[in-house]
Structure 1
Amino acid sequence: MKFEGTQQYVSTDDLTVAVNAAIALERPLLVKGEPGTGKTELAIQVAKSLGLPLLEWNIKSTTKAQQGLYEYDAVSRLRDSQLGEERVHDVKNYIKRGKLWEAFEAGDRLVLLIDEIDKADIEFPNDLLQELDKMEFYVYETGETIKAKKRPIVIITSNNEKELPDAFLRRCFFHYIRFPEAETLKQIVEVHFPGIKPELVAEALTQFYDIRETPGLKKKPSTSEVLDWLKLLLVEDLDPADMKRDGKDALPRLHGALLKNEQDVHLFERLAFMARGNR
């Protein structure tokens, strides 16, 4: 079982090696990188490539590790007991299975995506150490042990918003998705927009990398944002000549797809003002 990329996803050699190493080691693959560099999409494409189901657990700031295992609804059971409900005698009626339980109980192997783990509190990764390592956990209310029938392929993403504990990192295979170089980004563009004019791509990517390298930029535009921008350029039927910028207009056409806060817009407006003043 080897991942070799898909027609919809450009996987670099080092990323492909990382995915297959994690599968061979039977360890979670921890993927870090800038937002918008395709970390979540990687899990989707790994599942497609290997012909496996995908189970997603999207982490929020309020998510607790226990929710991935199960939740016991003691309040509903108390209410039902007061109402004399028959279902109150079976505690299993009040246990809600989490994503890890679903993954462990699946009859076939699947890909489990734990998306944006760094959004949760610092204890979240530590609370899942044993479960992800041994692929089992104990349900205290029923006295049963839930063990993975087929070990899932676990892919964990992080935007690096906070440091993850060393004990957790030790149990993962790590890969950092670097921002793609121009040639790789051209391949990604071609996947999403087959047959797009090379001249338009060349001009757009030149401007895109210039923007990313502008000193003082608060948020660098990502891969997903340049794809959105190119889609708009195609909708507007712009050609490379329409996109040319000069000193009096430092902002790119349809810049709202690339610049996502007022500080960065003002930065380019100041650059334009300075360029006019130097003429």
Structure 2
Amino acid sequence: MQFTGTSDYVATEDLTIAVNAAIALERPLLVKGEPGTGKTELARQVASALGLRMIEWNVKSTTKAQQGLYEYDAVSRLRDSQLGDERVRDVRNYIKKGKLWEAFEADEKVVLLIDEIDKADIEFPNDLLQELDRMEFFVYETGETIRARHRPIVIITSNNEKELPDAFLRRCFFHYISFPDAQTMERIVRVHFPDIKPTLLRAALTRFYELRETPGLKKKPSTSEALDWLKLLMADDLDAEDLRAEPGAALPRLHGALLKNEQDVHLFERLAFMARRPRA
């Protein structure tokens, strides 16, 4: 079972090696990188390339590890017992299966995505150590042990917003998705926009990387934002001359697709103003 990328996703050699190493080791693949560098999409493409179903667990700041296993609704059971409902005789009627349970009981191998694990409380990863390592967990309400029928391919993403526990890291195969260089970015763009004008693509990427490298930028634009920007440039039928006509430090055309906070917009406005000032 080897992942080599897909026609819709440009996977670098080091990324494909990481995915296949995690599969061979049967360990979770922990993928870090800037937001918008394709970490979540990687899981979808791995599932697509290997012909597997994907189960997605989107982690939020309020998410608890137990929710990935199951949730027991004791309040509803108490209410139903007061109403004389026959459902109370079977506790299973009040257990909601989580994403890990769903992945473990699947009749076939699946890809399990635990997305943005760093959003949750710091104890969240530690609370999943044994379950992900042993591929089983105990249901106290029913007295049964749920074991994985087929060990899922687990892909965990993190935006690096907080450090993850060492004990958790030891159980993962780690890969950091570096921001793509211009050559790789061009390949990515051509996957999404095969009909883009070559001159527009080169001029836009030159402008994009100039913007990313501007000192003092609070939030550098990501790959997904670059694709949004190029889509708008193509929709307006702009060409390379439209981009080159701008002063080097001025705000780029349709900059709202690239700059996402007022500090960065003001930074470029100041740079543009300074560029226009006559020299003494």
Task: Give the TM-score normalised by the residue count of structure 2.
Answer: 0.98
Q: Residue deviations 1:45-103, cap 9 Å, x none?
A: 00000000000000000000000000000000000100001110100000000000000
CA contact (8 A) 2:118 2:162 kept: yes
SS in 1 for 2:145: strand
Shift of 1:248: 8.8
Residue 88 (1) aligns with residue 66 (2): no
CA root-mean-square deviation: 0.9
Relative distance call for 1:112 and 1:158 in structure 2 (3 A) is same
Residue 252 (1) aligns with residue 252 (2): yes
Paired position in structure 1 for 2:58: 58
Q: How does 1:73-222 map to 2 (within 5 A)?
A: 73-222=73-222
Shift of 1:195: 2.5
Shift of 1:242: 1.0
Paired position in structure 2 for 1:242: 242
Paired position in structure 2 for 1:29: 29
CA contact (8 A) 2:125 2:165 kept: yes
For 1:261, give the aligned amino acid: N
For 1:148, give the aligned amino acid: A
Cα distance in 1 between the residues matched to 2:84 and 2:167: 47
Cα distance in 1 between the residues matched to 2:65 and 2:229: 37
Relative distance call for 1:185 and 1:249 in structure 2 (3 A) is closer
CA contact (8 A) 2:229 2:254 kept: yes
SS in 1 for 2:55: strand
CA contact (8 A) 1:54 1:111 kept: yes
SS in 2 for 1:22: helix
CA contact (8 A) 2:249 2:275 kept: no
Cα distance in 2 between the residues matched to 1:39 and 1:246: 33
For 2:39, give the aligned amino acid: K
For 1:266, give the aligned amino acid: H
For 2:223, give the aligned amino acid: T
Paired position in structure 2 for 1:228: 228
Shift of 1:245: 4.4
Identity within the alignment, %: 80
SS in 1 for 2:113: strand
Cα distance in 1 between the residues matched to 2:20 and 2:188: 21
Cα distance in 2 between the residues matched to 1:226 and 1:106: 38
Cα distance in 2 between the residues matched to 1:245 and 1:264: 21
CA contact (8 A) 1:248 1:276 kept: no
Moved over 3 A (4+): 245-249
Of 25-34 and 237-246, the range deviating more from structure 2: 237-246
Paired position in structure 2 for 1:6: 6
Residue 263 (1) aligns with residue 263 (2): yes
Q: Residue deviations 1:185-210, cap 9 Å, x none?
A: 00000000013111101000000000
